[in-house]
Each structure stands twice: as structure tokens, then as C-alpha cells.
Amino acid sequence: MPSQLHFGEDDFLRCRFAVSPLWETQEAVRTLKRPDRHGYHVPWLRRIRTAAAGLDLTPLWLLMPRRGHSPDWLGPPPIGPAAGFDEEITAVRGADPDAARDDTARSLACTPGALESARGRAWLADPARMVRELADALEEAWRVLVEPEWPRLRALLEADVAFHSRRLAEVGLGTLLPELDARLSWDGRTLTLPLHGEYARDLGGQGLVLMPSVFSWPDVITGFDPPWQPTVVYPARGIAGLWAEPADRTPQALVRLLGPNRAAVLTALDDPATTTTLAHRLRLAPSSVSAHLTVLRDAGLLTARRYGHQVLYERTPLGMALASGG
């Protein structure tokens, strides 16, 4: 059965985008146990294979049932649009033990035998210790699996937010929501999602957090029971090229025409991006990227538009033709 989120008048004013390193860490851990998610992430899986073998992820996996509830306290909605992992894990460590116990018990009940297991009984008997142990496991997973790749991941996620923020300004929320993923539908007041199990919630003036994710692909996820703010997590744009190195994606004819770095900048602009985003993506100095962007813009291959405090660069039709090898 589909799930539905019902909007009131105030909810339209309280929708926001967010990026969460804590969420990506949770979903990276889940991806290791989900072969159906491996398709786009094979290069990452190869890179982290040895390091991941040294982690004990069993406690986290126990609270990640394929069907059912995962504890909200262990992965709450993002604090803000650009919260860092340290800020988010501090919030996890500050979870109320009694509330965490109830939330965890609900999750354990989704896995046969988990509630009666030695680990499950120990957690429920000492929830304060459980909070510490699971927060420690999540932080170690971040340091090993995600933090080394975070500049690349963050660049992709921020590019998604920039693109969809512009679309929101151009077409409005009702048109944007189905564009986030073809499985979402909108009837003017209700967002319908293709989830397992029937779920309905009135947003009640809290609005909605819209969060792109790399490791959640190919799933669309919603949840967070009260008092958490409702959140919809959708696959970020550009995942197919996430792990490709610039040299692998840049046509050699373009390299001969523009030089390797300038060609890489043009090729990397599959989505509008800032100088900082491109610098992280290409592992170049921001000053170098800025100089290349200026040359490409003056040549008519890029346009630059200001959105708030950011300047986003995107390819012109001529730039698109050159980047594709046409």
C-alpha cells in the first residue's frame, strides 16, 4: 500500500532541503548488507573492502531490518541544512535513554529473535550504555567508510540541492515533488510515496525535509514518527558518475583542445555547481578552478547565475555539445 503525507497551509512555508553526513553513514553501513544497492558503488566498495573488514557492524545491522522500523534516535532528521557529522553525532549521544530503549525495542521486534538475543536483552536492560555503544559504532563507521569520501559525496549532494532549489523557485513545490523521483505523486495537498506498508501522516505545520542521498539509492524513504520532523529521502542526481575519476569521463579530443584541467571542469558540470563544489569534485585548488571557469564562461561554454550567496555555473548548449564529445 502507498504511504501519504498530508499538507496544511503552513506546511508549504516550512519545507526545506538538507544534507546529512550522519544519514549517509547509516545508509553506507546498510548498503554493505544490500547487494541490490551495489550497482553504482562498486568502486567505493573496492576501496573500503579492507578497512570495512576491520569494523564490527553487527550491532548496527541488527537495527536495520530490510522491512520494518529503524530507530529514529540513531538517525534523526538533520539538524540544519549543512550540519557536520560531529554536530549530528553529539545529538545522537544526547538521546534520552528511556525513549531510545522504546524506539530500539520496536526495531528489534522487526527481526525474528532479536528481542530475545543476548545483545537485545543487554541493550534494553541498560539503555544508557546502549546509546554509548551504538553512537561509538556509528562514529567509527563514519571515520572509516564515509569521511575519506565526504568531500566528493557532499559536492554531489549540494549540487542536487542547488538544482532542485532553483526548480522550486521556477515551478513551485507541487511540480517539484514528482520531479525528485518518478515514484512520487502529488494531488495538490497530499504527497503519495511507494513504500512498503500503509502509512499516513498530517504534517501539522512542521513542513517537510527533502534530503538527497547517495547510499539510499534506489530507495525513496520517509518516516520519523512524532516528534521528529517528517522527512523524504530520495536518490541524488548524478550518482551514475559519482565514483568516476575526471580523466575517465573527459573526451580526449576535449583534453587536446582545452587542456586536461579545463576540460575536466567542463565535463564535471553535469549539474550546476559552485567553484568550491568543483574544487572538491576534481581535487583542484579553488583558485585554479575559478580561473578555468572564467575562461570557459568568456568562451561561451558556461553561464553563471547567483542564487543567494552562491554562484552556480552550468554549461551552455555549446558547452554541452563539447563535453559530450559532439
What would the pLDDT profile of 260-297 be if each residue is shown by its tens digit?
A: 889 989 988 877 788 988 888 788 899 999 999 999 99
Query: What pLDDT is recorded for position 251?
Result: 74
Nearest to 219 by CA among 50, 68, 27: 27
Q: What is the pLDDT of residues 48-99, one digit of tens each?
A: 999 999 999 999 999 998 888 889 899 887 877 777 899 999 999 999 999 9
Across the chain, the runs of DSSP E, i.e. the strands, are: 3-6, 16-17, 185-186, 190-193, 199-202, 209-213, 221-223, 231-235, 302-307, 310-315
Which residues lie closer than 8 Å to 29 by C-beta, 6 or more apart?
57, 60, 61, 64, 138, 141, 145
Round to whole Å and give the CA distance between 47 and 93: 29
Strand 185-186 versus strand 190-193 pairing type: antiparallel
Rg of the chain's alpha carbons, rounded to an integer? Answer: 21
Task: Determine what percent of the chain is predicted with pLDDT higher than 90.
Answer: 37
Q: Return the number of other C-beta atoms located less than 10 Å from residue 11's C-beta.
A: 20
Position with higher pLDDT, 314 vs 310? 314
Q: Is the predicted pLDDT of residue 245 greater than 80, yes or no?
A: no
Nearest to 221 by CA among 196, 242, 186: 196
Position with higher pLDDT, 165 vs 248? 165
The Cα-based distances of 105 to 90, 91, 100, 128, 196 in angstroms read: 22, 20, 8, 14, 20
Query: What pLDDT is recorded for position 58?
Result: 93
Round to whole Å and give the CA distance between 134 and 61: 11
Query: What pLDDT is recorded for position 32?
Result: 94
**C-alpha cell recorded at residue 251:** 573526451
b/e burial code for range 173-202 (CB count within 10 A of at least 16 → b): beebbeebbeebebeeeebbbebeeeeebe
Per-residue pLDDT, averaged over 104-125, amounts to 92
Across 119-230, the runs of DSSP E, i.e. the strands, are: 185-186, 190-193, 199-202, 209-213, 221-223
Task: Determine what percent of the chain is predicted with pLDDT higher than 70.
Answer: 93
Helices 173-180 and 150-171: crossing angle in degrees, nearest 10, is 140
3-state secondary structure of 72: coil
Round to whole Å and give the CA distance between 289 and 283: 10
Per-residue pLDDT, averaged over 238-244, amounts to 78
**C-alpha cell recorded at residue 89:** 553525532
Q: Cβ(165)–Cβ(18) under 8 Å?
A: no
Position with higher pLDDT, 309 vs 110? 110
Please, what is the average pLDDT of the chain?
86
Q: DSSP string covering 167-188, please?
A: HHHHH-HHHHHHHH-TT-EE-S
Query: What pLDDT is recorded for position 248?
Result: 57
pLDDT band of residue 126 (cuts 50, 70, 90) is very high
